[in-house]
Amino acid sequence: MQEGKYKRDDNFWMVRKTEEPLNGLVYDYAENGKRIEFGYLVNGYQDGTWKFFHENGKPSMENIYKNGKFIETTQKWDSDGKLLENDY
């Protein structure tokens, strides 16, 4: 969110107008105002469980990150909210 409280440079998140890394729970929203993802940052990098959402607001997937690196997808849902088989 370049106009929000933070900005992203690839997978590094920082306080807007600074190079200070963000820490804690963050939410990211699409231009239409709907939440598209949320999770924790540690020293500016995704860490732990992150949840992502379809445009209709229903969950789309849950991923695990460690120090900004993707580890695995633990769950996926279709746009109707149905949990998909573990084929990812």
Please give the tally of structural domains in the chain.
Answer: 1
* Residue 56 domain-assigned (yes or no): yes
As given in the structure block, the two tokens for residue 73 are 């997808």
Which structural domain range is residue 46 located in?
A: 6-76
* Residue 82 domain-assigned (yes or no): no
pLDDT in tens, the chain (88 residues): 445 677 788 889 998 888 899 999 988 888 888 888 999 999 999 999 999 999 888 999 999 999 999 999 999 999 999 999 876 6
* Residue 55 domain-assigned (yes or no): yes
| Gap between the terminal Cα atoms of the chain | 28
User: In whole angstroms, what is the distance from residue 80 CA to residue 56 CA?
Assistant: 9
* Residue 67 domain-assigned (yes or no): yes
* Residue 85 domain-assigned (yes or no): no
Rg from Cα positions in the chain: 14
